[in-house]
Every structure is written in C-alpha cells, then in structure tokens.
C-alpha cells in the first residue's frame, strides 16, 4: 500500500463526518460530481413513495392542507436558511434558479430606484445568469456591464442599480469575497444579488451576517435534492416590503383564494412565490435535507472537511500525475477555494480523440469507465466536486491514482 493510501486510511478513521456516508445510496464508484448532481439520500425513496401513494393517492386534494403541501415553499425555505446563514422567514423554495435570478435582478433594479440604469454582472458567470441579466435589462431599460468579480468595486457608481455575482466560479472553483463585494455594492448605493449554486451546503455563506440583499440557489448539488429539484430565493427581511416581483402569481397574492383581479402581494418572503409548487420534487428535497439533522453535521464541519479533501486531492495529484500533464486552476488559498478542484489538461497529452473531441472530455470518459466520476468543461478542464457528506479520503486517493495512470 502506498504512503498516500495509508494516509487516506488514517484520515478516514479520524473523519467525524464519515458516518454520514451511510445516509446516501452509493456503490463502489468514486463520485466526484456532486457539484452537478448530488447523490441520493436513503430517506428520499420512502418519503416520495408516501407522498405519491398516501398523500396524493389517498388524501388527494386534502393534502394541500393535511399534508402541508401549501406551506412547503416557506417551510423548506426555513430548513435551508441555517445552511446559508439566514434567519427564518427570508427564503422561499420554488421555480428554477433561472426564474429566481430573473425575479431577483428585476426586483433589485426596482429597489435601486430612478437614475440607476446599469446592471453589473459577473463576466465569468454561468451562462444562464448572463442571459437572464440581459433579459432583465431589456425589461427595465438598463444596460448590462460584464466585469470580473475582482474588478467590480472599481466600476461601481451612481448609475449602478444591481450587481449579480456568483459566490463560487463554476469552472474553476474560485470562491469570491462575498463580504467585501457586498460592502462595496452597498457603498455605491446598489443592490447585491448573489448566486449560491456552488456554495450552499458546502461552505458558510453568511447572508444575514454580511447584509446580502437578495440571493438565489439551486438544491440539486450540495443539498442533494435530486435532478431538477426546486431552487430558492432569499429576500432580506427589511427589504421584503419593497420586493416587487416581475412575476406576480396567484400563489404570492395576499389572498390567493380570493381570486381578485387586482394583485396585492403577500407579506414577507411569500411574495417570491409565483404559481403552484412542484410538490413531488419539493418534498423529495425536504426529505434530502434530513441528513443535516444528524449529530455533528454542521456547515462548519462540512467546510473543514471540504478543505481537507481538496488539499489531499491536490497532494495526491502532485504525487501521482506526471509533471506537466495537468495544472490546477483552482486557487490554493483556502479563502479563495470552493469545494471543487478544476484541472486543466495539457495540450501535449497524447490521447486518441475520436472526431477531434476535446482531450479533457476523453480523459473524463476514461476516468468514468474506471469508476471515477467527475465532469469536464470545454475546452480543457476536468472538474472534481467534493461533497463532504459522502466523499472520503480513500475516494480522493483512488481518483488521483487512476488519473495518474491514465495520463502517464
């Protein structure tokens, strides 16, 4: 057994979160793609069966009241709240991330008031955020200004209405400075909107502590809610009365069953709701969140293990992968690292590529064939996501060793 394999054994033996792995449906595959789709928690299938067979099959329409379907968006929002550093009553679950980004950006421009006609957008953002920002700008008469996050403070001014930023860069895993950037946005009199898709459930966010105005996030990555599980919208408590959603629906009406022709928004975060909630996916998410109820499972413990896992992976890659084959584009500094490692493949790798396929894509395909699942991003990046609730140090050592064998 190699020295690194022995080290992995010791790290796994000392891991306080090791027992949480049993709460997930896993096999012998090393699953390092939880930053795209989290693994299935064991509690979900039984809960979904109950929702389908009893709540829907037997109670039918009564379940909106008796099974708590109607209040699910805010109830589940309150369960997500502590994972992103928010007090209860500020998060509502529903719709997709894209829809919630649209709500948040338009509402942010409306909050900013007249004379502010520029939306600053993270130039490295996931493409959809950029598309949505462009649409929101057309709707509100604004222009979009794409800027790298580090350069945001230097472009803010009297015209800035809203700033849309990603907490973690989806390509590189770089963690951006949410406290400092939020403070800079506020100093300019603008509204800060944060996308938490690649941070919630993997590291502390501190929405309330840092005065974030609006935030959105998905639940199918580190929160393990399942494919297409609903996203969430955070509206800071003192801004809720000013939150003017561009998608007013009957579910966010003050009297949803009054069926009135004139819209009157519900109080609080409820005005972030739109239409009928997706109950099956939403209640699967609620069951998935049960893993956070176990003793010792906290965001702080998860963050500590995340950093230890990614540190160990980089150590193993440096040992197992020949020099010059890959390079990490993920920051080494803990304060700048999310819960993933992105490796850029060298263009000199000697790989047979069918039809001119990207080298990184071919490498990842072969990794998956050998039981190590990550993903790649065009043109040359291998991504490995580390979900501390179920990834162990032995998984990390094996993944790096297999990678080294493939590119040697």
Residue in 305, 337, 383, 401 annotated catalytic: 383
**What's the gap between Cα 66 and its chain centre?**
31
Residue in 79, 145, 174, 221 annotated catalytic: 221
Regarding beta strands 232-235 and 91-93, do their DSSP bridges make them parallel or antiparallel, or are they unpaired?
antiparallel
Residue in 24, 31, 102, 126 annotated catalytic: 126
Residue in 15, 122, 195, 213 annotated catalytic: 195
113: left (phi over 0), alpha (psi -120 to 50) or beta: left
Known catalytic membership, residue 195: yes
Q: How far apart are CA 399 and CA 44, in angstroms?
A: 28
Residue in 24, 31, 220, 243 annotated catalytic: 220
Known catalytic membership, residue 220: yes
Q: How far apart are CA 21 and CA 41, in angstroms?
A: 9
Known catalytic membership, residue 376: no
Instruction: Enumerate the active-site residues.
Output: 126, 195, 220-221, 383
């Amino acid at each position: 057994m190699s020295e690194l394999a022995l080290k992995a054994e010791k790290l796994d033996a000392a891991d306080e979160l090791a027992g949480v792995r049993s709460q997930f449906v896993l096999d012998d595959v090393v699953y390092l793609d939880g930053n795209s789709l989290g693994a299935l928690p064991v509690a979900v299938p039984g809960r979904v069966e109950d929702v389908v067979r009893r709540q829907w099959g037997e109670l039918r329409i009564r379940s909106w009241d008796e099974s708590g379907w109607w209040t699910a968006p805010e109830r589940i929002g309150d369960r997500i709240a502590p994972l992103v550093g928010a007090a209860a009553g500020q998060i509502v679950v529903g719709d997709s991330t894209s829809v919630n980004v649209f709500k948040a950006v338009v509402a942010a421009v409306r909050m900013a008031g007249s004379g502010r006609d520029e939306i600053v957008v993270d130039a490295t953002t996931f493409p959809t955020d950029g598309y949505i920002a462009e649409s929101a700008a057309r709707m509100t008469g604004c222009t979009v200004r794409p800027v790298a996050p580090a350069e945001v403070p230097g472009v803010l001014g009297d015209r800035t209405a809203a700033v849309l930023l990603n907490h973690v860069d989806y390509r590189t895993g770089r963690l951006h400075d949410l406290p400092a950037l939020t403070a800079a946005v506020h100093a300019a009199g603008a509204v800060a909107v944060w996308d938490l898709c690649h941070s919630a459930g993997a590291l502390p966010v501190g929405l309330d502590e840092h005065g974030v105005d609006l935030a959105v996030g998905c639940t199918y990555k580190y929160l393990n809610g399942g494919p297409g599980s609903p996203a969430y919208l955070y509206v800071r408590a003192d801004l809720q009365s000013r939150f003017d959603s561009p998608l007013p629906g009957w579910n966010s009406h003050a009297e949803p069953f009054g069926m009135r022709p004139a819209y009157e928004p519900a109080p609080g975060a409820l005005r972030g709701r739109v239409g009928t909630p997706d109950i099956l996916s939403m209640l699967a998410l609620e069951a998935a969140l049960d893993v956070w109820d176990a003793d010792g499972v906290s965001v702080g413990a998860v963050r500590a293990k995340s950093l230890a896992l990614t540190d160990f992976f980089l150590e193993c890659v440096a040992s197992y992968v020949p020099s010059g084959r890959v390079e990490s584009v993920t920051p080494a500094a803990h304060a700048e690292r999310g819960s993933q490692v992105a490796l850029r493949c060298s263009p000199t790798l000697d790989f047979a590529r069918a039809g001119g396929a990207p080298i990184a894509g071919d490498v990842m395909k072969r990794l998956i064939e050998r039981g190590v699942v990550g993903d790649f991003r065009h043109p040359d990046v291998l991504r490995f996501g580390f979900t501390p609730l179920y990834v162990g140090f032995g998984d990390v050592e094996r993944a790096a060793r297999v990678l080294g064998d493939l590119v040697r």
